[in-house]
Each structure stands twice: as C-alpha cells, then as structure tokens.
Chains A and B, each alone.
Chain A
C-alpha cells in the first residue's frame, strides 16, 4: 500500500537556525498537505500543494512539491520558539483515497 516516509524524526535547533523536514511517497501523489501539531495539541492544517514543482511560502515557511509529485519539503528560516511542534506531511495517491500521514518530524528549539 501507499507509504509516506518523513525524515528526520526529531530535530533540535538553536533559535535563529534553519530547519527542513523531508517527505517521500512510495507512489505519485495527487496532492500533499502539511500540518503542525503543537505539544499536547491537535494537527492544524498549514498548506496544500497540488502542482508538480510547486513552491509556496508562508512568512518564514517554504513548502515545495517535487517535479515527480513523490516528494515534498518544508523549510523554516530563522526558527523561533513558537515553531516548536511536530510537522506532518500527508498525501493522497488519488482522489477518494485516504489521506496518509508521514510519521512526523518533531522540532525543538532552544533560545
């Protein structure tokens, strides 16, 4: 079945450093979504990418969708303590199928 792999599992950075998490799918995806889950909280939608090679930015966050639509990345520039949490990618292989989540990357930031 479809699998979505995400690395690294954990990342610790100093405040102000950059952070990147990578997501790879075993199958071509129709779209990919990113979620953030704060400690003790629930996943919250960040963004969706649909087109091959798409790049979207949200302030210090940059999201990319690979040309083959099988991989994606989230890059945070100059991390802040408010960026702490677990970042999940999630993708569907085709419309009508389940949204499959990667295992997440847990980011910790020290000031």
Chain B
C-alpha cells in the first residue's frame, strides 16, 4: 500500500478552469501538507493541516483552497487556473507538527496549464 497517495498524477488543463487534487495518507499521521515545486525544483510550503485544522497558510493566492475532511485526507482545489500555476504539487504528511517529524511525500501531481 502506498503511504501517501495523490490523484491524479497528471493534469493538463486550460487557463481559467478549476481543478482539484486529492491526497490520502495511511500512516496514521496527524499533520498533512501541500508543497509546490516549480520548474527550478524549488519546494515551497503552501498549507499545513493538523487534525483537520489549518495551521500554516503561506502567501498563497486565495484561488487555492485546501480542505481536510479528516486527518487522513487533504485535498487542494484551484480556481481560475493561471499559467504560473503549472508545477508539481506534492502532498506530504508527518507524525506530529511542532516536533521534528520527517515528511513523507506523495509521488506528486504534475499540473500543466495551457
């Protein structure tokens, strides 16, 4: 079983469309994250949830809306997609925030906006 799974792996869409990426972890972790990796491989934190509660919200446009229905799931919805949103989006989880937990990453979702 994959520890952190994301769907879909690939997304190709037109500017202005809305899309969602889903993430699930079966590790029993209570903290989940979304990271964005651009074409230069820079990994930037977007959001972090602890037990369904938003705890980190970096300066991300409000077109991006995360949702955590339970602590095993963290989804990312993006409205009105722009060219600059093209990137690989990684979901990750860790055992405990506030403590030095290692991150377990999903395989990534590559979003291409045309």
B31-63 with Cβ < 8 A to chain A = 35, 40-45, 48, 55-56, 58
Mostly helix, strand, loop or mixed at chain B's interface?
loop
Query: Within the assembled complex, what's the spacing in Å between the Cα atoms of A44 and B48?
Result: 18
In the complex, the answer to whether B99 meets A88 with C-beta atoms within 8 Å is no
Closest A-chain residue to B99, C-beta based?
A95
What interface size band does chain A fall in? 20 to 34
Evaluate whether A31 and B108 lie within 8 angstroms (CB atoms) in the complex, with A42-B90, A43-B43 already known.
Answer: no
Query: Within the assembled complex, what's the spacing in Å between the Cα atoms of A88 and B90?
Result: 15
Residue B66 interfacial (CB < 8 Å): no
Mostly helix, strand, loop or mixed at chain A's interface?
strand
Residue B85 interfacial (CB < 8 Å): no
Evaluate whether A31 and B100 lie within 8 angstroms (CB atoms) in the complex, with A98-B48, A98-B58 already known.
Answer: yes
The residues of B that contact A104 with a CB separation of less than 8 Å are 41-43
Residue B82 interfacial (CB < 8 Å): no
Query: Within the assembled complex, what's the spacing in Å between the Cα atoms of A44 and B56?
Result: 22
